[in-house]
Amino acid sequence: MSEYTIGRVLLTEEKIAETVARLGREITAEYRDSDREMILVGLLKGSFIFMADLARAVDHPLSVDFMMVSSYGDGTVSSADVKVVMDLDTSIEGKDVIVVEDIVDTGNTFSKVLKMLKNRKPHTLRSCAFLSKPSRRVIDVRIDWIGEEIDDEFVIGYGMDFGQKYRNIKYIGVLEETDP
Ligand code: IMP
Ligand code: MG
């Protein structure tokens, strides 16, 4: 059976902080003249650390809510079927909504969630992903703010897991198979 470990560092803590600060500035600028309610919707579990950082990097009044959808099992392969495991507990109608995701891979999860939320009549619906793997895209999904584009590698840390492990690693590393 294969064993896995954390391989090389892809993004350091410092680089992550710089990227989050840039996203925060861009989002702040975009909503400067809006006095509508802003809400960040984080997709659990992967986005929880990015959400905490991003929410503090945005200089605008906002609220947060979370939603959990299932896409992967405990492996590394996405399925096209996305199920809501835990829904928002607030209404997004008439609000400026930004959906926040850790990483967009095939695009299945993000596109389904965006479609679902659009039906709830937000005033605006935008999207922000910390990472994107453009070469893996199966569904063309619009991402308004992207932290970093990366190659087709499975990454862990900064909220992202492999079999629910490694979410608490402070940097983003590449998952590596070790010889048993
Ligand atoms: P998608 O539906 O294929 O775009 O998959 C998106 C979801 O898969 C993300 O929300 C992540 O939780 C997970 N995911 C995709 N790529 C990775 C990765 O490299 N590391 C950890 N999780 C990933
Ligand atoms: Mg996720």
The residue whose two tokens read 């900064």 is: 158
**Residue 170 tokens, joined:** 């402070």
User: If you measure from the C-alpha of residue 33 to the centroid of ligand 2, how many angstroms do you get, rounded to a whole number?
Assistant: 31
Q: Which residues pair with 44 in a beta bridge?
A: 68
Q: Which residues pair with 146 in a beta bridge?
A: 129
Q: What is the pTM of this model?
A: 0.94
The residue nearest atom 3 of ligand 1, judged by CA position, is 106
DSSP calls for the chain: --EEEEEEEEE-HHHHHHHHHHHHHHHHHHTTT--SPEEEEEEETTTHHHHHHHHHH--S--EEEEEEEE---SSS---S--EEEE--SS--TTSEEEEEEEEESSSHHHHHHHHHHHTT--SEEEEEEEEE-GGG-SS----SEEEEE--S--EEBTTB-BTTBSTT-SSEEEEEEE--
Q: Which of 92, 82, 89 is CA-nearest to residue 67?
A: 89
The pLDDT value recorded for residue 72 is 55
Which ligand 1 atom sits closest to the C-alpha of 108? Answer: 2
Residues with active-site annotation: 105
Ligand 1 pocket check for 101: Cβ under 6 Å: yes
The residue nearest atom 12 of ligand 1, judged by CA position, is 46
Q: What tens digit of pLDDT does each residue of 122-142 get?
A: 999 999 999 999 999 999 999
Pocket test for ligand 1, best of 67, 81, 84, 105 (most atoms within 8 A of CB): 105
Q: What tens digit of pLDDT does each residue of 85-109 get?
A: 999 999 999 999 999 999 999 999 9
Q: What tens digit of pLDDT does each residue of 21-37 get?
A: 999 999 999 999 999 99
Ligand 1 pocket check for 154: Cβ under 6 Å: yes
Ligand 1 pocket check for 42: Cβ under 6 Å: no
Q: What tens digit of pLDDT does each residue of 32-75 get?
A: 999 999 999 999 999 999 999 999 999 999 999 999 998 655 55
Query: What is the radius of gyration, based on Cα positions, of the chain?
Result: 16
Which ligand 1 atom sits closest to the C-alpha of 153? Answer: 19
